Chains A and B, each alone.
Chain A
């Protein structure tokens, strides 16, 4: 191969200009510019190559050949999404034993997506009605938002009874979080600062930053115990300036699976109450954590009924139906704010509409209609309760099986208790980045580099394989 450095062609230079980090499969620039393993980050995703870093090292471009500049010359190639990137890499792998423990979407014991039976029935009912497709109002389908509010806050909820809750349908949980972030940025009369648990769902930070809020953290996960750092959490809440906005995962914390106990929730409530903080709940797993939607709503309902938080209305909620009714791609959710009184709820609702209209005008019907049909039809509601329990139970049994294999079949000397004490779809295994890399390269087991696994990706057919793989990459730990 001719190793003389060649002058870059115009096309190659253009690639250099744009700062492209294109996937090798789609990059049309050949030659030395297409190959570089310079960046350590790329080791986790071997299909990505850095055109720029090679060009920077090997090219001495005498004068950049400039084509007529695009309006977008300053637009750099965005990084791949870390969570969704796992699935990309998984798909590209041909190993028959491969496992995808990346995205948190439920899978049945055959590893397949599960469309709930109550959903199929609701869809048939809807199809038979031949409904029209007229626009929903800005805040969405009223039968849906009412039922969703009752599910979250409880049928006996005082704040609902007193009409203190302003609610809008949203584009699933993400849309709800964004509406909340934007609303607080616009109307919260104190510092526009939100505190997230450390760690939190990866998308929380971009959502709140793009909303204009400053993002800070409070201690949450204790690496030494793989459990909750309650002392650190309470200390950080007390240290935060008065009237800060605090994001709380209502149940089944993502990514750690570590939830406070009811007693710990009461202490958290006291700290937030006492400092005049504002509580922003994110509830994406109601029903999914314990199998019982009522139980999973304990924290939210406690906050909505106790202390000045409830009394003054310092509470809002982002609610998702992606996982618990399996409607991921239909984007069904709500955002609600508890106001000081009914009059405030009306004012707040009017401003939510003003905020939402320039975002997307009004929300999509299909998913909301499905959820409304399920929740408002007694037999379907009962069937849903059974199915969500079934999903939660399968998760719980996979946790038990994984732990059991690790401890009893492979005699791992490490402490794997957290696998069964953690709750919900995710488990923070405690695996180190290097161990995660080995799981991928040696065993074709794909997960995010923070060591988070989606239990939903485990089935009775592969749980032992996973245990073996996890044991092998950890047994030589000092």
Chain B
């Protein structure tokens, strides 16, 4: 009997992941003034990764505590972590929490939370349900919902290139046009990639339309504390929606705890009743058991240690302010440098946009030229990570940007 010579000859070579590829190219570059404004990971003013001092403290406590073992966590994760996580996003006075209508399941950071939520929705709402993502959104959102099996993943208008701000009219139009009961992914704060967030009044209007259309609110919250520097302020949209509707919120602790590689996250769910909350939790656990069995302990222990201790929590708040403060300073410095250079166009959006990223307005050709000509690595959509700027490279960056704007169409 003849057998195929291989089972996988139809498997094509996939293109490398854009962001990771960018970082790899940056690492390989030997130019003295190279700048990486690609990946959204925080850097200190020397361009180095920064492990939060409070995280180091918590880590030492954990490693030196020989009463701790490496036993399995429950399927839903470390309880002291998940309860603190949902309290963090919903607020300690949250009616949903106090009435036992909210639950949380630990996940593999934000990605894992979005995927778990998507898998749940696929199973219990059906894959024919329309999913609406902001235009633009984090590149992985579409892949997650596609892989969860959704057949109809579409956009809602969001970013207005002319104003470099929110296209509220377009967004509401698209939400109204979508079939009733669609799933809508919203960025809780510090929109990735644009940095454009709705105002509280605008969130109010968005909620009105969502509720009238019975759409399901799926928040992605990767930057709580990082956007404004204030944890409660960054949670405003989620908390407001929680007073009016059921929702999912995918929480990442990658950025606000600097715990990128320990994959610490949670999916918090707000429902209408305690019974519903328990039923949903049990089904999330069932999905998670068939995907990962139970989540990783280390990062969750760190976050739990910090969130549940008053002194460590206060120290974390300070560490957060250090990071958001430096980002804010870089925004100011870049804006000032461009003003001084008289760079054509308005650069106000550098100050107005929120969080780690700025949507510069550069097109693909210009973004690429920043790399080839000036060894400045950024994604083709014109997005830059402010964390990649430092007091020693911001002038170089501004000059390069100025040249590109003047010379590259």
Contact = CB atoms under 8 A, between A and B. Distances in A.
Interface residues of A, number: 93
A70 B271 CA distance: 7
Contacts of A20: 275, 278-279
B275 A18 contact: yes
Interface stretch (A170-178, A288-296, A396-404, A455-463): A170-178
Contact of A68 (B3, B260, B272, B298): B272
A461 B203 CA distance: 63
A298 to B, nearest CB: 24
Given A20-B278, A360-B109, A361-B109, A351 B11 contact: yes
Given A187-B10, A359-B115, A175 B291 contact: yes
B204 to A, nearest CB: 21
A313 B112 contact: no
Given A18-B279, A138-B20, A278-B7, A174 B260 contact: no
A206 B289 contact: yes
B93 interface: no
Contact of A115 (B51, B69, B298): B69
Interface in B123-156: 124-125, 140, 143-144, 146-147
B291 A359 contact: yes
A113 B356 CA distance: 42
Contact of A210 (B13, B124, B287): B287
A362 B246 contact: no
Nearest to A202: B289
B3 A120 contact: no
Contacts of A2: none
A324 to B, nearest CB: 12
Nearest to A172: B293
Contacts of A28: 274
Contacts of B60: 127
A358 to B, nearest CB: 4
A261 interface: no
Given A70-B271, A348-B11, A133 B290 contact: no
Interface in B281-318: 282-283, 285-287, 289-299
A337 B11 CA distance: 13
Nearest to A359: B115
A314 interface: yes
B258 A358 contact: no
Contacts of B259: 133
Contacts of B258: 133
Contacts of B70: 113, 115, 119, 326-330
Nearest to A209: B290
A78 interface: yes
A312 B4 CA distance: 8
B59 A67 contact: no
A152 B110 CA distance: 32
B286 A130 contact: no
B286 A135 contact: no
Given A350-B16, A360-B112, A134 B260 contact: yes
Contact of B275 (A22, A278, A363): A22
A135 B41 contact: yes
Contacts of B4: 189, 276, 312
B73 interface: yes
A78 B20 contact: no
A71 interface: yes
B98 interface: no
A206 B280 CA distance: 18
Contact of A171 (B16, B71, B296, B298): B296
A95 interface: no
Interface size bracket, B side:
35 or more
Given A15-B275, A366-B298, A313 B7 contact: yes
Interface in A315-359: 322, 326-331, 337, 339-341, 344, 346-348, 350-351, 353-355, 357-359
Contacts of A15: 275
Contacts of B271: 70-72
A175 B292 contact: yes
Nearest to B39: A135
B54 to A, nearest CB: 13
B17 A308 contact: no
Contacts of A207: 290-291
A206 B111 CA distance: 22
B330 to A, nearest CB: 20
A171 B11 contact: no
B81 interface: no
B344 interface: no
A351 B216 CA distance: 32
B13 to A, nearest CB: 5
Contacts of B212: none
Interface centre among A18, A120, A135, A312 (most CB of B within 10 A): A135
A458 to B, nearest CB: 18
B115 A75 contact: no
B108 interface: yes
A276 B7 CA distance: 10
B409 interface: no
A264 interface: no
B294 A329 contact: yes
B263 A312 contact: no
B63 to A, nearest CB: 5
B74 interface: yes
B75 interface: yes
Contacts of B6: 312-313, 339-341, 344
A105 B291 contact: no
A84 B3 contact: no
Nearest to A84: B75
B246 to A, nearest CB: 5
Contacts of B261: 133-136, 362, 364-365
Contacts of B71: 105, 113, 328-329
Contacts of B286: 78, 206
Interface in B1-32: 1, 3-17, 20
A471 B286 CA distance: 36
Given A14-B273, A364-B299, A358 B143 contact: yes
A76 interface: yes
Nearest to A184: B7
B276 A75 contact: yes
A123 interface: yes
B282 A77 contact: yes
A171 B147 CA distance: 18
Interface string A442-453: 000000000000
Contacts of B296: 171, 329-331, 364, 366-367
B262 A133 contact: yes
Given A276-B1, A361-B109, A76 B279 contact: yes
A171 B292 contact: yes
Given A113-B69, A115-B70, A348-B11, A70 B273 contact: yes
8 contacts: A103-B72, A123-B63, A134-B261, A138-B17, A330-B297, A347-B12, A354-B143, A358-B147
The 5 closest A-B pairs by CB, nearest first: A78-B282, A360-B108, A340-B6, A329-B297, A366-B298
Interface of A: 14-15, 18-20, 22, 26, 28, 67-68, 70-79, 81, 84, 103, 105, 113, 115, 119-120, 123-124, 126-127, 130, 132-138, 171-175, 178, 187-190, 203, 206-207, 209-210, 242, 276, 278, 308, 312-314, 322, 326-331, 337, 339-341, 344, 346-348, 350-351, 353-355, 357-367
Interface of B: 1, 3-17, 20, 39, 41, 48-49, 51, 55-56, 59-60, 63, 66, 69-75, 107-109, 111-112, 115, 124-125, 140, 143-144, 146-147, 216, 246, 254, 258-263, 271-276, 278-280, 282-283, 285-287, 289-299
Given A28-B274, A174-B291, A363-B263, 13 more contacts: A19-B279, A78-B283, A79-B282, A113-B70, A115-B70, A133-B55, A171-B291, A353-B14, A354-B143, A358-B111, A365-B262, A366-B298, A367-B298
